[in-house]
Amino acid sequence: MTFAQVQGNTEVKKALTGMVDAGRVPHAILFHEDDGGGAFPMALAFLQYLYCRERSGGDSCGRCPSCGKIGRLIHPDVHFVFPTAAGVLSEQYMEPLRRLVAENPSFREADLMEALGIEGKNSIIAVSESRRLLEKLSLSALEGGYRAVVIYLPERMNAEAANRLLKMIEEPPQQTQFLLIAHQLEKVLTTISSRCQRIRIQPAGPAAGAVFSDAQLLDDLMDALLGKDLLGALEVAERIAALPSRESAKAFCIFAADRLRQVFLCQQGIEGAGEISPQARRWAAACRKTFPRQALEVLDRAQTLIGRNVNLKILFADMADRMFLLI
DSSP 63-105: -SHHHHHHHTT--TTEEEE--EETT--GGGGHHHHHHHHHH-T
8 Å CB contact between 280 and 266: yes
**Can you tell me the distance from the alpha carbon of 70 to that of 115, in angstroms, rounded to the nearest whole number?**
20
**Can you tell me the distance from the alpha carbon of 44 to that of 165, in angstroms, rounded to the nearest whole number?**
21
Q: Smallest Cα–Cα separation from 126: which of 79, 81, 155, 161?
A: 161
Compute the 3-state secondary structure of the chain and give helix, strand, coil in percent, each to the nearest 5. 55, 10, 35
Predicted structure pTM score: 0.71
- Digitized pLDDT (tens) for each residue of the chain, 327 residues in all: 999 999 889 999 999 999 999 999 999 999 999 888 899 999 999 999 999 999 999 999 999 999 999 999 999 999 999 999 877 999 999 999 999 999 999 998 889 999 999 877 788 999 999 999 989 998 888 887 889 999 999 999 988 999 989 988 988 888 899 999 998 888 899 899 999 999 999 876 544 444 577 889 999 999 999 999 999 999 999 999 999 888 789 889 989 988 998 899 889 887 554 568 889 999 999 999 999 999 999 998 898 888 777 899 999 999 999 999 999
Which pLDDT score is estimated for 209? 43
Q: Using alpha carbons, list the distances in angstroms from residue 281 to 2, 239, 261, 297, 305.
A: 36, 25, 11, 20, 29
Which pLDDT score is estimated for 211? 55
Which pLDDT score is estimated for 246? 84
**Can you tell me the distance from the alpha carbon of 312 to that of 238, in angstroms, rounded to the nearest whole number?**
9
Which pLDDT score is estimated for 208? 47
**Can you tell me the distance from the alpha carbon of 293 to that of 198, in angstroms, rounded to the nearest whole number?**
19
**Can you tell me the distance from the alpha carbon of 74 to that of 58, in angstroms, rounded to the nearest whole number?**
24
> What residue ranges define each of the domains in the chain, with the CATH number in brackets?
3-208 (3.40.50.300), 211-326 (1.20.272.10)
Which pLDDT score is estimated for 227? 96
